[in-house]
Amino acid sequence: MNAAPPAGIRLTERQRLHWLRLIRTENVGPAAFRDLINRFGSAEAAIAALPELAARGGSLRSVRIPSLAEAETELETAGRSGARFVAVGEPDYPPMLRQMDTPPPLVAIKGNGAVFQLPAISIVGSRNASLVGIKLARSLASELGREGYAVVSGLARGIDAAAHTGSIDTGTIAVLAGGLDRPYPPENVALCAEIAERGAIVSEKPFGWEPRARDFPRRNRLVAALGLGLVVVEAATRSGSLISARLANEMGRIVFAVPGSPLDPRSAGTNGLLKEGATIVTEAADILNVIAPLAGVEYAAPPAFDEPSDLSATPPPSDDDRGRVIEALGPSPVAVDEIIHHTGLHPAQVFLVLLELDLAGRLERHPGGMVSLVFPDT
């Protein structure tokens, strides 16, 4: 793990504080964060504009924006624990995350950042894993590690823990659903500490954040993104591992699956993936033969965000323009390009209306640049 990190531009400490404030603001996800920076040129300027934007989007209450003191406290807490916040575009930001459509603007990392420079494979599977599944996951991770790959997983019990254990000596990355100081489940706290010492742990959630059910799919998104491919060892028909496989497929990652007995419900999901075209895995060579040609590829890092000039120079949308965009939206996802074509508005005007709706909690974003309108419960 001696690879030199790529070049990049570091934020000033003031910029990092405002980036943290902005991404911790209610209804500001990675996509809204990117659009705000593109529109206003800096997080500080975007924060100043947030209340008016949310009001124009239909929000009936004030936007909750963390104070500078709150952001300073979180940065200090991270520093005391040996962690750091890394921004997209900085040299030590995980390069595979940069390839996502909407990468997390900031991630908290603790451990050896060089592990992110290794080609990586993600391994996931059942929490209630069989002994055979645990043994296989550990063996696959160990052999992949010996071949120079990092192994990524989500620190869950069962297959995740086996994958981390098998690759602890060669390089493993644990993605947490909560804050870095809130590893889950409790029985893997010691394993998490060991990974932080010898590999790396990463999270996009705030320090002190206790993971909730809806945080695990977001964690799965990062697990899928960090690997060139994703291996599912055991998974039931409705499981987080299948969510990870779907996300990996949407990102263009290679999906692998280990076949299992038709009589074991823990193999129903993996057998289903194989029927849908996943690559079969019975030994590490099955993964290596497919991934090896990709492992040496140099991925060009896209710019952290686009230049804001074209967006900021465009006249703001009128109330009639907003009405046309909202009229084009519905509960079914639609491509942003289709909205632009249908309304005839400048792309920057459409993006701003969507941003206003997003900040007001009225827009849902979907993979592939699709959006839909959120309707209040009746």
Ramachandran category for residue 364: left, alpha or beta (phi over 0 → left; psi -120 to 50 → alpha): beta
Q: 331 or 94: which carries more pLDDT confidence?
A: 94
CATH (domain of 142): 3.40.50.450
Q: Which of 295, 324, 359 is the last residue of a domain?
A: 295
- Average pLDDT value for residue range 182-199: 96
* 181: helix, strand or coil: coil
Answer yes or no: is 301 within a domain: no
Q: Which domain holds residue 141?
A: 111-295
* 201: helix, strand or coil: strand
Answer yes or no: is 202 within a domain: yes
- d(C-alpha 292, C-alpha 299), whole Å: 15
Q: Which of 68, 95, 110 is the last residue of a domain?
A: 110
Cβ atoms of 337 and 69 within 8 Å: the answer is: no
Q: Are residues 52 and 116 in the same domain?
A: no
Task: Write down the pTM of the prediction.
Answer: 0.87
Tokens representing 264 are 């074991």
Identify the pLDDT of residue 101. Answer: 85
CATH (domain of 348): 1.10.10.10
Q: Which residues contact 136 (CB under 8 A, 6 or more apart)?
A: 233, 258
Answer yes or no: is 358 within a domain: yes
Of the candidates 275, 175, 187, 160, the one whose C-alpha atom is nearest the C-alpha of residue 218 is 175
Range of lowest pLDDT (217-226, 251-260, 293-302): 293-302
- d(C-alpha 159, C-alpha 180), whole Å: 21
Q: Which of 75, 110, 145 is the last residue of a domain?
A: 110
Identify the pLDDT of residue 308. Answer: 42
Q: Could you give the C-alpha distances from 325 to 333, 372, 373, 375, in angstroms and in order? A: 14, 11, 10, 15
Identify the pLDDT of residue 307. Answer: 42
Place of tokens 């990102």: 251
> pLDDT tens for residues 43-72?
999 999 999 999 999 888 888 999 999 999
Answer yes or no: is 19 within a domain: yes
Q: Are residues 127 and 94 in the same domain?
A: no
Of the candidates 26, 12, 30, 5, the one whose C-alpha atom is nearest the C-alpha of residue 204 is 30
Q: Are residues 93 and 123 in the same domain?
A: no
Identify the pLDDT of residue 8. Answer: 67
Q: Are residues 185 and 122 in the same domain?
A: yes
- d(C-alpha 203, C-alpha 301), whole Å: 21
- Average pLDDT value for residue range 349-370: 88
Cβ atoms of 320 and 344 within 8 Å: the answer is: no
Q: Are residues 72 and 124 in the same domain?
A: no
Q: Is the predicted pLDDT of residue 297 greater than 70, yes or no?
A: no
Q: Which residues contact 248 (CB under 8 A, 6 or more apart)?
A: 122, 224, 227, 229, 230, 254, 255
Q: Is the predicted pLDDT of residue 348 greater than 90, yes or no?
A: no
Answer yes or no: is 198 within a domain: yes
Average pLDDT, the chain: 90
Q: Are residues 215 and 189 in the same domain?
A: yes
Q: Is the predicted pLDDT of residue 298 greater than 60, yes or no?
A: no
Q: Is the predicted pLDDT of residue 303 greater than 90, yes or no?
A: no
Q: Are residues 118 and 197 in the same domain?
A: yes
Q: With cut-offs at 50, 70 and 90, classify the pLDDT of residue 195.
A: very high
Q: Are residues 19 and 96 in the same domain?
A: yes
Identify the pLDDT of residue 6. Answer: 56
Q: With cut-offs at 50, 70 and 90, classify the pLDDT of residue 304.
A: low
> pLDDT tens for residues 233-259?
999 988 889 999 999 999 999 999 999
